[in-house]
Structure formats: C-alpha cells, structure tokens
C-alpha cells in the first residue's frame, strides 16, 4: 500500500480491533551504515463492528522507519479499514503507541503503589480483577452524588422538624422520624462513597463525566 493511501486511511478509515495471529520480526541487522530499522510483519484477524471477521496482513514500521512498539501473537491492536473495501486495513500506529504508553504508565503507577503499600504494612491489592470500566465508575460516582444530595435533604428536614417542634407545630415523634431518616441517609452516603473510592483507586486516571465536585473524602 502506497504511503499516501496509508496516511489517508489512518485519518479517514473506520476504526476496529484486530488479534495478532502471527508475527515476524524483520530488520535489526548491523551493517556499514549502522543497524537497520526493526519492523513487524503481522497476520491479523480483524473484528469489524458488525461482528464479522477477516484475516488480513499488516505491519508495524517498515524498512525505512522502525516500529514504535513491538507486537506478538495474541495481542489486540487498533486498526483502520476502508469502508468500501473492508479488506484494506492498516494498523493504527498512533493509537497503538498511545495504548502502549498508557499501559506502561499504569504498570509503573501500580509498581510504585505496591512499594508504598509494602512500606506502610498494608496488604497487596488484588490485581487478578480487571480495572473497572468507565461505565462502572460513572454509575458509582452518580450513586454517591445522589446519596450526598439525599443526605443533605434529610439533615435539612431534621433541622426543620426540630424548629417546628420548638414552635409547637411538630411532635417529638416527627423529630425522631426525621432524625432516623437522616442517620439512614448518612449511612447510605458513606457506603456509596466507599464503593466509589474502592473503584477509583483502581483507576486513578479516571475523572467524572460531569462538572460536579469529586470529593472522595466525604460530604
């Protein structure tokens, strides 16, 4: 595939994911002009958005410029394909590099956190569980925010009941019921906050999808 067509496909092609079925390394030879660029010749199984698949060739890098990252059998990599000729596929090297850098950063952060926890005498975090998804985090955050709002309403209702009782327009039973509701809402808020915090610690890079505050220490 010509360079111009590859570049256009990277910008205009449809995104998909592909599994590496076979990987062969080329280059890396030392000669009079130095070491030749290392690049990867791949066999890919592209998974299109409609659920269909196709086995196609691909490459990362070339004999003119080295591969920015490595690839091996079983890896999942981003690709772009032509909508009118789906077998025409290029590996999305910028997206692959960004994904690689994110994975490297996450591993580094996890290594630092393990060391910090070890020095603090804390148990290791269970890494067998996959990190929470954006949807899980957003739902947990919204649940906590909703619990915060209900807690504030319950506390305000309790104060109003106390003021009404002092004015003789409410009974002690009204105040007690408002107090019990306030205590219940506070417990619900604490539980929702702890669930959100537990997920957030496993995805420290995540930020809420709204403009509200993200106070993890409590309301």
CB 217, CB 148: distance < 8 Å:
no
CB 193, CB 217: distance < 8 Å:
no
What phi and psi, each to the nearest 5 degrees, are found at residue 202?
A: -90, -5
Q: Is residue 51 left, alpha or beta, with left meaning phi > 0 and alpha meaning psi from -120 to 50?
A: left
pLDDT at 66: 84
Banded model confidence at residue 16, pLDDT cuts 50, 70, 90: very high
Indicate if the pLDDT at residue 87 is higher than 80: yes
Counting Cα atoms < 13 Å in the Cβ hemisphere of 15 gives 8
Nearest one of 152, 148, 129, 130 to 140, comparing CA atoms: 148
Which residues share a beta bridge with 19?
45, 76
pLDDT at 1: 54
| pLDDT per position as a tens digit, 153-204 | 999 999 999 999 999 999 999 999 999 999 999 999 999 999 998 888 878 7
pLDDT at 64: 81
| pLDDT per position as a tens digit, 42-69 | 999 999 999 999 999 999 988 788 888 8
Query: Which residue blocks in the chain are alpha helix, DSSP H?
Result: 3-12, 93-119, 134-166, 172-201
Mean pLDDT of the chain: 87
pLDDT at 127: 63
- What size, in residues, is the chain? 219
| pLDDT per position as a tens digit, 25-44 | 998 888 777 788 899 999 99
């Amino acid at each position: 595939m010509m360079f111009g067509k590859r570049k256009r496909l990277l910008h205009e092609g449809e995104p998909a994911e592909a599994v590496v079925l076979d990987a062969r390394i080329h280059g890396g030879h030392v000669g009079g002009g130095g070491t030749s660029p290392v690049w990867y010749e791949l066999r890919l199984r592209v998974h299109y958005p409609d659920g269909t698949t196709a086995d196609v060739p691909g490459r990362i890098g070339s004999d003119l410029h080295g591969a920015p990252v490595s690839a091996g059998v079983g890896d999942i990599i981003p690709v772009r394909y032509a909508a009118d000729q789906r077998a025409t596929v290029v590996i999305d090297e910028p997206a692959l590099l960004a994904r690689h850098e994110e994975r490297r950063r996450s591993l580094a952060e996890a290594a630092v956190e393990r060391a910090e926890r070890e020095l603090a005498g804390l148990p290791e975090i269970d890494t067998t569980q996959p990190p929470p998804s954006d949807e899980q985090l957003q739902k947990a955050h919204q649940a906590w925010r909703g619990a915060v709002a209900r807690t504030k309403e319950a506390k305000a209702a309790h104060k109003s009941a106390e003021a009404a009782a002092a004015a003789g327009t409410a009974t002690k039973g009204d105040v007690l019921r408002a107090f019990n509701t306030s205590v219940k809402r506070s417990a619900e808020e604490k539980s929702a906050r702890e669930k959100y915090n537990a997920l957030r610690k496993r995805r420290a890079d995540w930020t809420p999808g709204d403009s509200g505050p993200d106070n993890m220490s409590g309301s």
